[in-house]
Every structure is written in C-alpha cells, then in structure tokens.
Amino acid sequence: MIRITAAAIATLLLPVWTIGCEGENPTAFVANQAPVADAGQDVSRVDADGDGYEEFALNGSASRDVDGVIVEHLWLEKDDAIANGVEPTHSFAVGVHDVTLVVTDDRGGMDSDGITIVVEPIDVSDPPSDPQPNTAPRAFITMPCDGFRSYEGRGMYFGGEGIDAEEGRLANDRFEWTYDGQPIPRCDSDWDGRASACGDGGWIESIELGPHVLTFTVTDREGAEGSASITMTGVEFQNASFTADILSFLLYACEACHGTVRAEGGIRLDSYDAIMTGGNEHGPLIVEGDPTGGILIPQILSDHLIVDSHGIHMSQWMGETILPVWIVEGARNTDHPHPPYPEPRCGVTPE
C-alpha cells in the first residue's frame, strides 16, 4: 500500500473543459450559467431610539455562481441604488421598504432577489412591560454530510449558515470554525498550512487517517451562541475505480491533446484500451504493478492543472495517490465504491 501524502483537489467529477496544449493559454468553451441572487430574509424592527431611522446590515453572502465569481452586489430601492457590496449597512426611515439585490458575475450574467424591510415607530405611550427574551441563533453545517468519508490526504471544502429569530441570516463575521478542537484561522489572516475559513465556509488542506470533528459556532448581536458539529473519517485509498477516479481525471485534464480529435505524439488517453496500449519512444504509458515503470505518472506530476480559483493542483493529487495505487493493484478496468465527488450538500436552512 502506498502512503498518501498529497495536496488535495476539490472534485474529480467536473464538466469536461477544453484545455489548450503546449504553452497555449488554457481556454474553456462552456456556456455561462447566470448567478443566483439571495438577498436574505425579510426583516422587521422597531425604531428603538425614536429618531425615525434604523440601521440594517444587508446580507447577500448566500448569492452564488456555479461557474464563475460574482463581481458586483448592487442594492436598490425603487430603482435607486442605496448600497453596494456583499454585506453593506444602510439606514432606513420608519415605514416599509422593498429592497432588491442585483448580482452580476464575471461574464455578465445577472440575477435579482428582493426582501422587505419594515421599520416600525416606537410607541412611547405604551412601552412593553414584559419584553421577549433573546432567542439563541442556530448553526447549520451544509457541507459535508455528517459521517462523511474522505480519502486520506485529500482536501475538502466545508460550509454553513447561521439563522437568528430576531436578525434572520447572520453575517459572516459572526462565524467561527474549529477542526479537531483547534480554531480554523480566517482567510484574511495568516495561512497556517492546515485550514482556512472565510466566514460561511472554507477549506481543509489534507484529511488525515482516522476520525475528525468539524464544529461551527454562530453568535448574535446579544452574544448568544449556537453551534453544530459533524464527524468525518479519513480512509486509506484502495480499490481505485477506473471510470470514476482514473478516466474522469484524464478526460478532464488530457482529452484536448490526447483524444479522438487530437492525439498528440500518437498517444490517446480517452479509453482503457488506449491507456493500456499507448506509449512512444520514451516507453509505455504504464507498467502494471510498477508505478515507476511508465511515462504517464512523471508527465502528470510535471504539469500544473488548475482545478479552480483556489489554485488546487489536481495533477499532484492524482500522480502521488490514485494513479500509483491503481497501477499497483493491477491497473484493472474495474469500478468500486469510493467517497463521493463532489462532497454533497447536507441540510437546508429554514426560510
């Protein structure tokens, strides 16, 4: 068994992208998917100090774009811009306000979502005799699932949301994460090489063998806390699935230059037979049972195939873990159950 020590990847089951060859700039020919705007929940609040205004923290952090990044969050009231940014603050006068969030992604796609903000005047003639106590917020870990299994050495994304009865969806600066009892530093602080959290989510660099606990804590304005925890387990990589583990990676990373359209150097990497019989003057692609005997793994390790904007190198993970184990196990054309790619989202926060 080969011990796994590698940087992780976010997913192996990604859509096939067309990647440029031999020094050309990588290109992707994928139709843009519009972003999804999420302006949060409707909010109603009393003008506590009686000055006619209340300040609200708008929150568009739940907006998302599956194939790019959101570059603008614009907040409108009656077609007038009132704020810009993911989590801006704005003072609203006593009354009812219909607020719209318009998001734009990096390829011009747009979407909008609206909320209603109500500022009620204070009734100084009849103050409440028995104010309601503050309700503690609730924390939800949305990914990964409780009991999640991950290959040892692989990285993993995590995410969560905080909901408060009085405030609605809480802002990211109220969130804290711990992994095996150790605080996970925020992404705007020094990287500790282990994990990083950007409010409602983050990244664990490498899952170690054995059980682990991820804990998410949220805090409301009154200082009340709510928390949630899940367990996950790092397992040894074995019984590689050719279709799900090997072929999916090669189609993503190599098919543009080594497929049916273009077989550079006479090498194709788009089928089991092509991989087993391929090679050139430098030798065969693989040698069954000997991960050091072919040219495929050294070539993959020499590449830097960026998976996403986090800069995670899929080639290092494949070249040091999955491919060597598959070759040692006989380079068979078999399928086996394995931890899921991508990590499923688990749990839906209430409206």
Number of alpha carbons in the 13 Å side-chain half-sphere of residue 28:
15
Which of residues 133 and 305 earns the better pLDDT score? 133
Which of residues 326 and 1 earns the better pLDDT score? 326
Confidence of residue 87 (pLDDT cuts 50, 70, 90): very high
pLDDT at 18: 33
Which of residues 61 and 336 earns the better pLDDT score? 61
Average pLDDT over residues 171-188: 87
What average pLDDT is seen over the chain?
Answer: 79
CB 259 within 8 A of CB 247: no
C-alpha–C-alpha distance, residues 167 and 273, integer Å: 59
CB 204 within 8 A of CB 195: yes
Ranges of beta strands (E only) in 165-200 are 168-169, 175-179, 182-183, 195-197
Q: Which domains can be identified in the chain, with CATH numbers?
A: 43-120 (2.60.40.10), 138-235 (2.60.40.10), 242-328 (no CATH)
Cut 0.85: pTM above it: no
Q: What percent of the chain has pLDDT over 90?
A: 24
pLDDT at 229: 94
pLDDT at 313: 55
Which of residues 11 and 217 earns the better pLDDT score? 217
pLDDT at 36: 93
Q: What percent of the chain has pLDDT over 70?
A: 79
CB neighbourhood size of 117 (10 A): 19
Number of alpha carbons in the 13 Å side-chain half-sphere of residue 276:
11
Sequence letter at residue 328:
V
Fill in the DSSP letter of residue 240: -
Which of residues 153 and 174 earns the better pLDDT score? 174
pLDDT at 338: 65
C-alpha–C-alpha distance, residues 322 and 246, integer Å: 8
* 3-state SS assignment for residue 85: coil
Average pLDDT over residues 247-254: 80
pLDDT at 29: 47
C-alpha–C-alpha distance, residues 41 and 229, integer Å: 25
Which of residues 4 and 213 earns the better pLDDT score? 213
Least confidently predicted of 13-22, 102-111, 199-208 = 13-22
Average pLDDT over residues 299-303: 77
CB 120 within 8 A of CB 50: no
Number of alpha carbons in the 13 Å side-chain half-sphere of residue 233:
8
Which element (helix H / strand E) includes 119?
Answer: strand 110-120
CA-wise closest residue to 83 among 97, 101, 98: 101
User: Does residue 336 carry a pLDDT above 90?
Assistant: no
Least confidently predicted of 2-16, 154-168, 169-183 = 2-16
First to last CA, the chain: 48
Confidence of residue 49 (pLDDT cuts 50, 70, 90): confident
Strand partners, 204: 156, 195
User: Does residue 281 carry a pLDDT above 60?
Assistant: yes
pLDDT digits 0-9 by tens, 123-166: 766 555 666 788 899 999 988 888 888 777 777 788 888 888 88
C-alpha–C-alpha distance, residues 152 and 235, integer Å: 5
C-alpha–C-alpha distance, residues 285 and 277, integer Å: 8
Average pLDDT over residues 33-56: 88
Which of residues 149 and 303 earns the better pLDDT score? 149
Average pLDDT over residues 249-263: 83
